[in-house]
């Protein structure tokens, strides 16, 4: 019988089956798993002959198996179980400390072996490892299935994210496959790419009954971080006249989203690491811990992998947080979305300002397609609203994009950036050949609008016109570029 059938939130998503003929050990082990590990999706079997039937009728991911039982021994059941259910992890918890028996069980396919007198903390860590392995295996299987089938089970959860990009569709498929995991999710991407929208979508399909609680941790000193996340007891510090619950408790049964995690101070990083490792925390002024019942999402626009290599971010915390990690592509990497998003924002702006939505010229689309949008979707939205506010009548042109006129058409390359790469085994093109290649590419990107192509190349429109005429004359006369 499931001991937690009446509970709203079960962890893990799959069941843990305890097979032991001693009811007292069932009770003590079950209480330890619930109180110290938050593991409450438990099933109990006192008769080893019924274990296989329970595996048939329930979604079991981990079996905690005793060896010395009447009717059918644990070793006999282990052989049957690993053959019939090879994807289930079996942890042996035996009353006997025998090395030969432990080796034999591992050879038969057991995940791990513990003695009942083992320290509870060590046993709990071993069971947690088995759970995490099963979660990762199931998520990998689900991800493989989604990628191969190219399907989304909950497309409505992503409806606030306008896109027709294949790269974004792959992101959505990955997020669906890890949405029901209990492990942290790290959302990486440049500012303005919509990381909070992603967090909302994953929370919506996570199946969690609690709410999504968001906090930007950038600039929080250690005490404010402590108080914000963990809360405080009355009298914990000067001014603490009443007890206050922290955001970890507010997000209980749901998701806690920590934005700008790369700006977290080292002392606060230690507290977050302990929260993830132990699954418990102390409100300020409290002498008894509380268990965390929320899943953690974090987001950053920084390169945390580089930060941890440089010692600016704790390595152990980084690896705890990036169990599941997704990189949101910048807008310049999904240019097929630019027209869709600009039209949406422009219509939104027109409705907001009481104006009719305008028509758009090919010149405008060419100009937008050849801008790098360092501010991503947030910048595109601002550009659309500004253009609608300035537009008077007729089709909207590139000249209406004041914010675009104030910036260079392409992202300014850094000192060591390489815009063009050449295969080392091939000959270098001549300057004349490169001139022709650049002009043709610029005209293609500008939809053959000479004004836009000239802006891309950084030359005047008359200068481009002369070069095009020379290229046409050379082609007509059969002259190859020098």
List the domains of the chain with CATH numbers.
15-136 (3.40.50.2300), 150-329 (3.40.50.300), 332-405 (1.10.8.60), 431-476 (1.10.10)
Please list the residues that pair with 237 across neighbouring strands.
none
Torsion, CA 305, CA 310, CA 315, CA 317, rounded to 10: -70
Alpha-carbon gap, residue 243 to 236, rounded angstroms: 9
For 19, 24, 27, 124, 138, the CA distances from 77, given in Å and listed in that order, are 10, 21, 22, 23, 24
Q: Where do we find the tokens 């004041």?
A: 402
Contact 340, 379 (CB under 8 A): no
Dump pLDDT digits (tens) for 214-251: 999 998 889 999 999 999 988 888 888 888 899 999 99
DSSP symbols for 286-324: -SS-EE--SEEEEEESS-HHHHHHTTSS-HHHHHHHTTE
Nearest to 454 by CA among 469, 438, 470: 438
- Beta carbons of 188 and 304 less than 8 angstroms apart: yes
**pTM for this model (two decimals):** 0.72
Q: How much of the chain is in helix, strand and coil states, percent to nearest 5?
A: 50, 15, 40
* DSSP code string of 225-265: HHHHHHEE-TTSSTT--S-EE-HHHHTTTSEEEEESGGG--
Pairing of strands 324-327, 280-281: unpaired
CB 28 within 8 A of CB 93: no
Give every strand in the sheet of 15-19, ordered side by side. Answer: 42-45, 15-19, 60-65, 89-94, 112-115
Residue 131 makes CB contacts below 8 A (sequence gap 6+) with: 12, 16, 39, 61, 62
Question: Which pLDDT does position 414 carry in this prediction?
Answer: 45
242-268 per-position pLDDT tens digit: 888 999 999 999 999 999 999 999 999
Residue-level pLDDT, tens digit, the chain, 482 residues: 444 333 447 889 899 999 999 999 999 999 999 988 889 999 999 999 999 999 999 999 999 999 989 889 999 999 999 999 999 999 999 888 888 888 999 999 999 999 988 888 899 999 999 998 898 888 878 777 766 666 788 889 999 999 999 899 999 999 998 998 889 999 999 999 999 999 999 999 998 999 999 999 998 889 999 999 999 988 888 888 888 899 999 999 999 999 999 999 999 999 999 999 888 999 999 888 999 999 999 999 999 999 999 999 999 999 999 989 999 999 999 999 999 999 999 999 999 999 999 999 888 888 898 888 999 999 999 999 999 998 888 899 888 887 666 555 444 444 445 566 676 777 888 888 888 888 888 887 777 788 778 877 888 888 888 888 888 877 777 666 55
* Coil vs helix vs strand at 283: coil
Q: Which residues contact 353 (CB under 8 A, 6 or more apart)?
A: 388, 389
Q: Do 216 and 168 contact (CB within 8 A), yes or no?
A: no
Place of tokens 């920084």: 302
Average pLDDT, the chain: 87
CA–CA dist 152, 177 (Å, integer): 10
Tokens of 478: 């059969």
């Amino acid at each position: 019988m499931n001991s937690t059938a009446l509970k709203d939130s079960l962890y893990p998503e799959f069941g843990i089956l305890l097979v032991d003929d001693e009811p007292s050990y069932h009770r003590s082990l079950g209480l330890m798993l619930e109180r110290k590990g938050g593991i409450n999706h438990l099933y109990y079997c006192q008769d080893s002959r019924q274990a296989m039937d329970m595996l048939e009728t329930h979604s079991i991911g981990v079996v905690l198996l005793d060896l010395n039982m009447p009717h059918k021994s644990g070793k006999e059941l282990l052989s049957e179980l690993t053959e019939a259910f090879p994807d289930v992890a079996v942890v042996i918890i035996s009353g006997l400390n025998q090395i030969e028996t432990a080796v034999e069980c591992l050879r038969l396919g057991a995940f791990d072996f513990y003695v009942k007198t083992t320290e509870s903390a060590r046993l709990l860590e071993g069971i947690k490892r088995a759970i995490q392995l099963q979660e990762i295996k199931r998520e990998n299987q689900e991800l493989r299935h989604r990628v191969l089938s190219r399907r989304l089970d909950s497309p409505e959860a992503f409806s606030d994210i306008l896109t027709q990009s294949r790269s974004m569709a792959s992101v959505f498929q990955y997020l669906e496959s890890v949405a029901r995991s209990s492990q942290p999710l790290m959302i990486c991407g440049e500012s303005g790419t919509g990381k909070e929208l992603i967090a909302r979508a994953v929370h919506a399909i996570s199946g969690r009954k609690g709410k999504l609680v968001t906090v930007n941790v950038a600039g929080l000193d250690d005490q404010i971080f402590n108080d914000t996340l963990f809360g405080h007891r009355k009298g914990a510090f000067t001014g603490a006249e009443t007890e206050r619950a922290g955001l970890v408790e507010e997000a209980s049964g749901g998701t806690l989203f920590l934005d700008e995690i790369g700006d977290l101070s080292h002392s606060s990083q230690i507290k977050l690491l302990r929260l993830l490792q132990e699954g418990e925390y102390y409100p300020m002024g409290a002498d008894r811990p509380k268990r965390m019942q929320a899943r953690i999402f974090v987001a950053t626009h920084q390169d945390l992998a580089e930060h941890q290599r440089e010692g600016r971010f704790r390595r152990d915390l980084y690896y705890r947080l990036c169990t599941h990690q997704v990189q949101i592509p910048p807008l310049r990497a999904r240019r097929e979305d630019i027209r869709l998003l600009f039209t949406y924002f422009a219509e939104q702006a027109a409705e907001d300002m009481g104006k009719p939505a305008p028509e758009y010229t090919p010149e405008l689309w060419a100009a937008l397609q050849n801008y790098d949008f360092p501010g991503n979707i947030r910048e595109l939205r601002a550009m659309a609203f500004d253009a609608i506010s300035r537009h008077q009548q007729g089709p909207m042109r590139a000249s209406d994009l004041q914010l675009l006129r104030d910036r260079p058409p392409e992202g300014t390359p850094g000192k060591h950036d390489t815009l063009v790469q050449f295969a080392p085994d091939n000959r270098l093109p001549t300057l004349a050949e490169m001139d022709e290649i650049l002009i043709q590419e610029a005209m293609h990107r500008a939809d053959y609008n000479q004004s836009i192509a000239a802006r891309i190349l950084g030359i005047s429109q008359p200068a481009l016109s002369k070069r095009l005429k020379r290229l046409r004359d050379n082609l007509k006369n059969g002259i190859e570029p020098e």
